[in-house]
């Protein structure tokens, strides 16, 4: 029996993998979710390697976007072709035009009719034209796939460059970079609060606007680490409006 998998990957613990899983499960509720957390580099993806070896003809792998399969265009296109040749279906929720079903349609040839003009030379001419059209369509589909991976790779590189430039600019303006004395308790609250924001903010598909969410946080208790010995404690999730918008900005952090 063919299996449907959903592959989710994030590169740092600051990112949120639940959005990818939610997007996949919304359209493919039967998908078995494979999660890869804090991989760091392309080479360090043990869950992907296991999935890649395990999938068989007729199985399907769903990605939130091509960037989840590979951040390198050359490697991404190679993996795409290898899995396609093995008969594995690939689905990219943000780039449905490069699903393997689209590529398969181009490979089989949209232009296909019985040719019998009553003249061998005419038949050969028409066949050569049809073959050229089919080759053109196949090449265009390949180019679209390659372009999607290249665009994904460019977006990651651009993001890294903008982040680097932003840090430099902030330092030149005297902004604080990194953890400062007195910030430790607020940092303990950060991730649980960001999780609530992602789950309940209207900007992330939840039911609450900013004012309502700030009110909810003011009356919500969260669990945070108490010490380095593994003890925890309950604290209020109440935060200032400025901190709320800072955490909301972190919740929007682009996954790379």
For residue 11, give both structure tokens.
């590169």
Q: By three-state DSSP, how is residue 206 classified? A: coil
How would residue 74 be classed by pLDDT, with cut points 50, 70 and 90? confident
Q: Report the predicted TM-score, pTM, of the whole model to 2 decimal places.
A: 0.55
**What tens digit of pLDDT does each residue of 180-192 get?**
544 455 677 888 8
Q: Give me the residue spans of the domains in the chain.
A: 1-176, 184-251
Task: Tell the CATH topology of 1-176.
Answer: Rossmann fold (3.40.50)
The 10s digit of each residue's pLDDT in 216-248 is: 999 999 988 877 777 888 888 898 888 888 888
What is the mean pLDDT of the segment spanning 97-113? Answer: 71
Per-position b or e across 33-51, b if 16+ CB within 10 A of its CB: ebebeebeeeeebeebeeb
């Amino acid at each position: 029996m063919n299996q449907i998998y959903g592959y989710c990957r994030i590169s740092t613990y600051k990112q949120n993998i639940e959005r990818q899983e939610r997007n996949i499960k919304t359209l493919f509720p039967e998908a078995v979710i494979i999660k890869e957390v804090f991989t760091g580099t392309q080479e360090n993806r043990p869950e992907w390697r296991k999935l890649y070896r395990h999938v068989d003809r007729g199985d399907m792998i769903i990605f939130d976007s091509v960037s989840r399969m590979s951040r390198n265009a050359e490697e991404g296109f190679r993996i795409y072709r290898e899995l396609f040749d093995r008969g594995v279906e690939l689905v990219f929720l943000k780039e449905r035009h490069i699903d393997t079903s689209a590529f398969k349609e181009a490979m089989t040839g949209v232009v296909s009719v019985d040719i019998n003009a009553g003249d061998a030379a005419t038949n050969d001419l028409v066949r050569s034209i049809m073959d050229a059209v089919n080759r053109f369509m196949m090449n265009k589909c390949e180019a679209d796939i390659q372009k999607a991976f290249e665009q994904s790779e460019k977006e990651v590189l651009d993001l890294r460059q903008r982040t680097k430039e932003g840090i430099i600019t902030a330092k030149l303006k005297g902004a604080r970079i990194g953890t400062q004395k007195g910030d430790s308790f607020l940092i303990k609250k950060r991730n649980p609060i960001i999780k609530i924001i992602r789950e309940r903010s209207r900007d992330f598909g939840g039911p609450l606007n900013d004012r309502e969410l700030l009110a909810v946080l003011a009356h919500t208790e969260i669990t945070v680490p108490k010490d380095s010995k593994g003890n925890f404690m309950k604290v209020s999730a109440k935060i200032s409006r400025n901190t709320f918008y800072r955490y909301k900005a972190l919740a929007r952090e682009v996954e790379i």
